[in-house]
Structure 1
């Protein structure tokens, strides 16, 4: 008798458990998107702000005021924007589910045929697709149509408050780094410490987001670093020009 190879064992149940299922992956990516967007915005926008001010003045009070104002305004803006965006998405999902519920009530046979055709389109034979559609309908018709037809998990609808708080906290944490880096060191070291800290943080957030999402980190890291460096360079140049002009 031929023994199973190690390769086939590696492709078995252990690998299946390592792979994220659709609902879990979607939920994780939604949180990841909000958190990474918030952190990157906090790092880059606050760094650009304080570096720009540093180009015009080395006054610690001015730098702290600008940094705190940017942190508060940015975190509130991110939270509000995320709440509105995710609320719109949730409203659309709820409306789609309500419409589907009415169709199931008014046209059960048509909806059963629709589910059969959708399953058939995924590679099942007509007979198997019909039997699967009947069983799914008997168990939970709305859930079956939501998942197969709409791509929605009724038990895991997006939560606008979760997304808003995630963005708020992520932006605040990200913004604290350049704020502390610009006000804590001695005047002669502030700019260097801030630039190095910000670029290192952008490498970390780019790598973390890519790895958590299952993507290659190289491009994400490069995008973060180039975008952050460009933002700081432009604002510092503007701040320097304004400072030299006595504005």
Structure 2
């Protein structure tokens, strides 16, 4: 895999998908449907998925592709693959709260190694560069040009005053009970995979997730966090969160900056 070519394509497709998403987001109205698992899906999810999938299949025809909106791809059995959530944070999109992202990642041997997370309504983009280090790019974002980039890195946490980020739409009592085990200086809520990116930039130290997620929800954010020096582990035994699982469903997990004194659940 030529990582430079890969990231050029992933960045371009995320921007093009973001443009399509914002076109629908800024319309007076848009259609919302319900999938078989009772989760919502909009025309923006479907349009972004069609655009990204076509681009990836053209550029990387030999790499298996897993995408949330194409159920047939959920039966792929592979350890190395591309994985897409064309619009993560659909509830945030529907409620026009802005915390939604385009997520595209490469998983190699069960590990997310490259990825892009683009939040078009927030005008923030995070991605791994060709050597696997994570950067944040400053907009405005255009597929044919590149803005200024800066390296991002997790901070050294203070276990007596941790910065915590948690889900905006999926917060529950179990999450609050776990967070209460830590000495928390400040806590913020964020939607979608932006939570990984806030840890990656040092805006937060830890993001615990005690709820259902799928690998397409987390792979790109996981890659960005890893490229910034962070880690993502299983909630139960604190071993690395692996990808390519049957059905692509995640267990509970914790994303954090090394140095956080992880507590048992």
> Which TM-score tier does this pair reach, normalised by the shorter chain?
under 0.3
Q: Which structure is higher in strand share?
A: 2
Q: Which structure is higher in helix share?
A: 1
Give TM-score, length-normalised by structure 1.
Answer: 0.24
Q: Which has the larger radius of gyration?
A: 1
Greater relative contact order (Cα 8 A, min sep 6): structure 1 or 2? Answer: 1
Give TM-score, length-normalised by structure 2.
Answer: 0.23
